[in-house]
Structure 1
């Protein structure tokens, strides 16, 4: 048994930990515990609950309104791992500055990032988006079409990124991407960047943008980008989506030569 005196001695330490890590504890509750309990109670996955909310509150054919509906859901209901509005503005700005013709997105989840990218495309540009989970693909496709984008603008490709990337040119007609947005498994960032290099899928001067490089983090990806000599690398610091108390960042890589 722990004596009351020892317990009281540890109390200030525990309070300090709770205060210091309160944002992470709140994230654990909102992103893991609460959705898990609601999944079990309702039998409806969190992604479908979010889509039903967006369907009820967004204006069809209005990408901005679709994104705002997602943001309201994530702010007031349950946390979803989308890029969010703060980092989304960084990604959108970089996309508009580069004005690419061919955009590749790795990791669409519920379609938030796809809609964000698609609404910022120049006329005639095309977006290829890759998602591995069939359940997420089904939701993402509904969200993309709800926002008003058809197959001529956005092509949704289902499958693991390591399998999809080698067939992007022969099967989907992507000669080389001018802009790549990574928002899938953080451990996959470096592997998939090297796959894109190996298959010649990065156009000269291409831009690669990667989310969550500080939290949960992609240290090996960042180290490679900064030291391999192929890229000019910059990290745009921000906060984690829908969690202003947790620091995060978006990496911007600019190809220095041929991809």
Structure 2
């Protein structure tokens, strides 16, 4: 057993550690422990619980109400890694300012990002959003339709990002992507970006916005972007969604074309 004297000597170190990393401990509690307990108590996934809350509290057909209700649930009830309201404003501005006609979202999750993008699209624009988890895709489909968007504006595709990117031309008739929003597995950011390049779906001026490049981070992706010479690049620094004490950011890339 550890003597009281030794334990007391380590106490300042433990307290300092807890204070320094308190937001990470809080994130672990909200994102992991609370989720585990609620999974057992409800027999529903976290995404299904979020949809039940939105269905009960949001106004159908009103995208703003859907997003506000999601934000309240994620900040006050259970944590979920949507882009959130602060970083979402950057996404909103880029969509409005650039008025893309064809948009690809990688990582639909529960539909928050898709609704956020779709509400800012101009008439005639189309969003393809990709989710590999079938159960999450079912939730996202309900959220998207609850917000009032139909297949003419927003098409949800179930599959991996790699599978879908390779089929964009042949199966979906897409010749060019004006805007790509990456918010899926961070380890897929780089291979998917290179796949987009190789497929010819990126044209000069195409914009790629990648979330969470600082936390949990996508270092290989950022290193490639900086060295490739194919992109004009900037980072939008912010904090992790619904967790203000953890630094995060998004990478905004503008494709310059093949050298």
Normalising by structure 1, report the TM-score.
0.98
Q: Deviations along 1:55-83, whole A, 9 cap, x unmatched? A: 01111111010000000101110001110
Give distance in 2, aligned partners of 1:69 and 1:203: 36
The residue aligned with 1:55 is 55
The residue aligned with 1:107 is 107
Structure 1 residue runs of 5 or longer lacking an equivalent are: none
Q: Deviations along 1:6-25, whole A, 9 cap, x unmatched? A: 11000000000000000000
The residue aligned with 2:86 is 86
Shift in Å at residue 172 of structure 1? 1.1
Shift in Å at residue 258 of structure 1? 4.8
Shift in Å at residue 87 of structure 1? 0.5
The residue aligned with 2:246 is 246
Is the partner of 1:197 in helix, strand or coil? helix
Is the partner of 1:175 in helix, strand or coil? coil
Give distance in 2, aligned partners of 1:2 and 1:80: 39
The residue aligned with 1:138 is 138
The residue aligned with 1:125 is 125
The residue aligned with 1:15 is 15
Shift in Å at residue 173 of structure 1? 1.4
Shift in Å at residue 203 of structure 1? 2.1
The correspondence of residues 191-230 of structure 1 with structure 2, limited to 5 A, is 191-230=191-230
The correspondence of residues 151-190 of structure 1 with structure 2, limited to 5 A, is 151-190=151-190
Number of aligned pairs? 259
Is the partner of 2:123 in helix, strand or coil? coil
Normalising by structure 2, report the TM-score.
0.98
> Contact conserved, 1:202 with 1:258, CA < 8 A, in 2?
no
Q: Deviations along 1:135-190, whole A, 9 cap, x unmatched? A: 01000010001001000000111101111110011001111100000000000000
Is the partner of 1:170 in helix, strand or coil? coil
The residue aligned with 2:116 is 116
Stretches of 4+ aligned residues off by more than 6 angstroms: none
Structure 2 residue runs of 5 or longer lacking an equivalent are: none
Give distance in 1, aligned partners of 2:74 and 2:249: 19
Is the partner of 2:54 in helix, strand or coil? helix
